[in-house]
Chains A and B, each alone.
Chain A
Amino acid sequence: MNDIWTMIWKETKDSLFQGGRSALIRPLLLIGILGIGFPWRFGLQWLALTPVVMVLFLYIPYITIISFVGDAIAGERERHTLETLLASRISDRAILLGKIIVTASYAWGTALIGLLLGLIVANLSKGQGSWEFYTHVDLLLEALALSLLTSLLGVSGGVLISLRSATVRQAQQMLIVATLVLVGGGFLALKAVPAQAISSLSISQIWLIAMAVLAVLDAILLGVSLVSFQRSRLILS
């Protein structure tokens, strides 16, 4: 566990908050979009967590992740820091999990702040004086769980692609292609399901099914990443 904390410390210093104050621009911009821009635009719809709001809410943290998760392994390889790290006593698992935890927490943290700030901004935008909470608590909890699972999907998939990419640019290009395949595949799968079956489900049940699918995908990708992250393979790559 100590080793994972060490990697979390390192990733926070090296990856997330490198470059001083300018490093804060990215998270502030994201929180601005997710916690101020959209809630102001959607108003009460934001508090109802309508399907459009939910998709946007999941999409932004996912995009955040794929913009920098490619750097996780490919970046270390490109900057020649990976070999030295592998020559130390730290375990393969600690290196990988440290990277996954930090990146997923960053994206999920952004989503949580977005939800909290969105609550305030959406209330301010409607200007009625009375204070309203998110309309459906079950949808709110699903939104929290889904954003965590989406973040994990982006991170574990991203780390896997980063592992197999020679450069950060290659990793990012592959991540965009993988995202398009994922979205396209999801769309085709939905089309294949009879419309009657979908209409018989409540919106909450649809999100629950999405959560189950994401959890399975996360587990597979995380498992494959853990198996693939081996010193001897990385040294040769």
Chain B
Amino acid sequence: MPEPIIRTEHLSRFFGTVKAVDDLSLEVPAGIVFGFLGPNGAGKTTTIHLLLGLLEPTQGQASVLGFDTRTQADAIRAHSGALLEFSGLYERMSAQDNLDLYGRIYQMPAPARQARIKELLTHLELWERRQDQVSTWSRGMKQKLAVARALFHHPPLVFLDEPTAGFDPVAAAALRNDLASLVAREGVTVFLNTHNLTEAEKLCAQVGVIRQGKLVTVGAPDELRARTGGPQAEIVGRGFTEQILTTLREQPEVAHADLHNSHLLLELRGESEMGPLVSLLVHAGAEVEEVRRGKASLEDVFLTLMEEEQR
């Protein structure tokens, strides 16, 4: 089995009495987009800081690209790219100079820098405005440039900390598409911090869920759905009385039943047939207009996990 690109063992970082990251043990395989999901303040950014060797862990250890985060942090930073909480662009400099700066930092020769600037800015449709001061650009353009900067020196691993945070849905979707195409083209491993579940669902091969510094679960989105929530059904109609709900909840194949604005939401155990349940509803006097089956979304999984942890 190939060596994971990131491995943490009981990694912890405390700030006084606050446990920002608490006993995190995690393995991220190479070549995938790994989503690190969690609400605000869960410890996602601190985890990236620890993995980049910007912060010393209080306990535990971590290795990134085979380098120890305590003793070989320089090597980690030399071989990875990062787009942190803020884009970190020099707004008084041009887009070209921003990329050129990071090319110089990563000791790329001038011809390679120029070629790479053209390649990335053309791919992201920013080439025409390469000489403009970045301060004159829109937020979406700046963030695309910041993604390009993180990938500029062909790192095998990139850390992205909530790259679409604060974007409207259209801009977020556009950036996500650019991100997906770049990542696929460059064949890079991505450690993606996000609380945007749609983003995680679309981009990530594996996700880890963190809450209050603790890793709650980790796995492929499909695995998490299967583990956390069973199949679901939504029944649209009228006449769903409290008595009908009670009867439904007594059925062995129904794990959970709830009513939301004349929509009956059922969580089922296993791949149960819907026929007998619909028949039961009709015989009890309800009018059924539509029946839809589906799987739990990553959002459902996430919310369930958060609720479980809170209990």
List residues of A whose CB falls within 8 A of some B CB. 2-3, 6, 9-10, 13-14, 18-19, 79-81, 83-91, 231-232, 235-236
Nearest CB on A from B154, distance (A): 13
Name the one of B55, B74, B82, B90 contacting A81, with C-beta atoms under 8 angstroms.
B90
**Count of chain B residues with a beta carbon within 8 Å of a chain A beta carbon:** 28
Q: Given A89-B74, A89-B77, does the pair A235, B93 have CB atoms closer than 8 Å? A: no
Sorted nearest first, the 7 A-B pairs with minimum C-beta distance are: A84-B88, A80-B86, A18-B92, A89-B78, A87-B82, A6-B104, A235-B54
CA distance A19 to B90 in the complex (A): 12
Nearest CB on A from B54, distance (A): 5
CB pair B107 A13 closer than 8 Å? no
CB pair B88 A83 closer than 8 Å? yes
- Other than the known A84-B83, A232-B56, what 19 A-B pairs have Cβ atoms closer than 8 Å? A6-B105, A9-B104, A18-B93, A79-B90, A80-B86, A81-B89, A81-B90, A83-B85, A84-B88, A86-B54, A87-B52, A87-B77, A87-B82, A88-B102, A88-B106, A89-B77, A90-B105, A91-B74, A235-B49
CB pair B55 A83 closer than 8 Å? no
CB pair A232 B101 closer than 8 Å? no
For A89, list chain B residues within 8 Å (CB): 74, 77-78, 105-106
CB pair B86 A83 closer than 8 Å? yes
Q: Given A2-B107, A232-B54, does the pair A84, B82 have CB atoms closer than 8 Å? A: yes
Q: Is B3 an interface residue (CB 8 A)?
A: no
Q: Is B84 an interface residue (CB 8 A)?
A: yes
Nearest CB on B from A167, distance (A): 16
Q: Is B91 an interface residue (CB 8 A)?
A: yes
Q: Is B253 an interface residue (CB 8 A)?
A: no
Q: Is B299 an interface residue (CB 8 A)?
A: no
